[in-house]
Amino acid sequence: MRPMTALDTRAVHAGRADLAGLGVHVPPIDLSTTNPLPDVELGGACYEALATGGLPVADGTHVYQRLWNPTTGRFEQALAELEQCEQAVAFASGMAAISACIIAAAAEGRRHVVAVRPLYGGTDHLLATGLLGSEVSWAAPDEVAAAIRPDTGLVVVETPGNPTLELLDLARLARQCGGPDGVPLLVDNTFATPILQQPARFGATLVVHSATKYLGGHGDVLAGVVATNEEWAARLRRVRAVTGGILHPLAAYLLHRGLQTLPLRIRHQSDSAQKLADWLTTHPAVERVYYPGLAECDPLHLIGRQMSGPGAILAVSVRGGLEAAARVAGACELITHAVSLGGVDTLIQHPASLTHRPVAGDAKPHASVLRLSIGLEDVDDLRVDLARALDAAAR
């Protein structure tokens, strides 16, 4: 890691240390699927290093794109610096990243996972079905230590949680995991981003992102990434090399560019989200607002201590249940009715029908809940659109 500069500076410059030496100002996109081999011996040594999870051999060859790609490597370097982790490993999607963590833990003979709900619907579904051969125990935040067994390979949490933004105390969870030599704590940091929260500072071993969301930030890249220590990064690269989930270099280029504006986007979008959340608490058609920037949604006082701000996702429970929620989503005009989040434009969606559809009944979000990802539009235009949709639905 380079000497620690301020986060905004790192966002702009990280992962670009080799560019001046190449005589370029922006990262080149290397699309080679295969690379010339200098000779059989060095080619073999490079292959061996990369296929077993190592980093490229200096002055060697990258052999084959499924093993390594320099454009993807620069994005990984940048993300690792922002998360204050030793390394990062990028995947073709957030779910590919989470799958690789489960597979890597199982490869160490630890197939049991302790997980705290709520989680992203896809993660919940993957763990609940045991599709990858894992076995899950769902635990309340304070019951994680009691749920850990000798074969527990991961503790999986998300904070803020999806979709209702519950906050978890990461330092407390890391202590329950047994500290640095205990069970690895995996934190899905998609909602917070490294701008608002760096879970490794509080004891997380694996920091996962659906980079599809804020890191890309423009709704045009599907990607995932895990920031972690050197040992886990090697395990994940090994899994990635054989399961084939590496991130494509064009996507990596866009993500690396997206990181440069991440701090600005997050701050502006969070400011707008706070204004909208405050206003929504006073709206007669709204039963409840879920937003970590509202005092009642942060009972452990984690904003300012663990997170530097509440972020730009909020959820509302509307009066009138499923039908009213469906009418609000359908009546938005400026705001797009679509899944996903973290882009420059504002999205609204109904978690119980969509993102959290596969979640078991008792853990599924209530049918009256809508989730909003606040974008970069003028906040008053957003307020007008929402007010009209809420009024139309109440009528």
Ligand X SMILES: *Cc1c(COP(=O)(O)O)cnc(C)c1O
Q: Give contact residues for ligand X (rule: CB under 6 A).
A: 93-95, 120, 122-123, 158, 162, 188, 190, 210, 212-213, 222, 224
116/139 Cα distance (integer angstroms): 5
Active site includes 290? no
Minimum separation from the CB atom of position 355 to ligand X (A): 7
Between 113 and 324, CB nearer to ligand X = 113
Active site includes 213? yes
Residues present in the chain in total:
395
Q: Which of 16, 18, 30, 66 is catalytic?
A: 66
79/343 Cα distance (integer angstroms): 18
Which H/E stretch holds residue 80? helix 70-83
Which H/E stretch holds residue 73? helix 70-83
Q: Which of 47, 74, 124, 188 is catalytic?
A: 188
Minimum separation from the CB atom of position 72 to ligand X (A): 15
Q: Which residue is nearest to ligand X (CB)?
A: 94
380 CB-side CA count, 13 A: 0
Between 81 and 158, CB nearer to ligand X = 158
Longest dimension (CA), the chain: 75
Q: Which of 10, 74, 120, 364 is catalytic?
A: 120
Between 224 and 375, CB nearer to ligand X = 224
Between 213 and 288, CB nearer to ligand X = 213
C-beta of residue 310 within 8 angstroms of C-beta of residue 303: yes
67/290 Cα distance (integer angstroms): 42
Minimum separation from the CB atom of position 338 to ligand X (A): 12
Q: Which of 74, 111, 213, 265 is catalytic?
A: 213
Minimum separation from the CB atom of position 192 to ligand X (A): 10
- Per-residue H/E/C for 40-74: HHHHHHHHHHHHCCCCCCCCCCCCECCCCCHHHHH
Structure tokens at 211: 């980079």
Residue 212: count other Cβ atoms within 10 Å of its Cβ: 24
Between 60 and 342, CB nearer to ligand X = 342
Minimum separation from the CB atom of position 312 to ligand X (A): 13
- What is the SS3 assignment for 186? strand
- So which residues are the catalytic ones? 66, 120, 188, 213
